[in-house]
Structure 1
């Protein structure tokens, strides 16, 4: 493979992974098993071909043949920690390997360059967030916020935003509230439509009571099903009225940069 045409994605530092260990890392949206064995490093497809078990959550174990293998934590399938080959198999019959390099102690995995991106509404919104000084997003990704989540991912890859994934939307609101109290500047909390959005309310009340700035970003159902009671159709403007100083749905015909600017200005 011609490594000159690759994007090199930083996935960690050599001090993050001791000799004889493996871990899961993410390069863009690709899940990678990073291994450090016998003084060498390798990056391979993280999904075991059996039932897609996460190899990076496994361990390097000595087999009955005396050789060391990465052992899948789900069902015990083995792979060579440097070549990805299974026992008795050729190197090209096992896990896909990704190019890897180390520079100044930083570990990089090489991926094919992404195709040219067409700028979207959500790109305009996230660029406006960055221009207003937003540094952190606490969120959960789901079907109704995928476009915005992908735009945030691009800003994270450029080093413009930090993203923290959470396991409950209420935690995102409380984290953003705490951030506002400590810094005086807004962080964003990201959720899907409907119940994902309303889970923010307790944390947003916390922010309101303590007058902490928070930017809440939620998904919404498609405009053609506003009102009739479709799946996850909730009147979010009314739901958030008691805790918000500015609340506005974003539509295809909106002035997206102006709406984001007004939200942050308010």
Structure 2
């Protein structure tokens, strides 16, 4: 698998696809009424917590860290729409899993996503084995039971960055792990899209991989690079014909995360 992977289609009608609806609210949209990526990331987190509760494992498996999230904006979802979110497992191992979330708007908008989630032990704060009964429930929608981690993205260098700018970390960005919450990383992407709106004119894939946490007080800088078709193989041979933009999240010399954006 690589950055241009094909996501598992929704298994329509499967009893273990978790299905919820709620309205798109004003705090989740941009100036044009589009559901923002950081808001979509929060919805992806929220339905995950709802499914965990529904399955009866919120007490025994309360803490999860996302290592990678891939989001495809196929058609923008716009204000006053009703969101339908469906969530199911697309791959497992004994300590982590990949979870798909499809977000449909009644007006025809569509966002697809897949996230790599790691189960964390409350006491040790380290990856922890998923219980057999929980794992059995996850595996009802997938045949992949030996899921392995493979990084898709490579950090960009300061030396050849097109732009470097600081992203202030606020106290409201910090979660119960004392780290910057996953959804805030997507606000960085929204900042970039605001300055490069042409990227939203066609279906867009955005992927974020997390390397290390960002803490309150960190001087977080965003390094942007744009790779023209045929100029770099860093994103895999399947993307050789496309322009790929990367955003590298750095604190000093330490890489915290990397994002990649390209047209589908």
Which bin holds the TM-score, normalised by the shorter protein? Answer: under 0.3
TM-score for the superposition, normalised by structure 2: 0.21
- Structure with more helix by fraction: 1
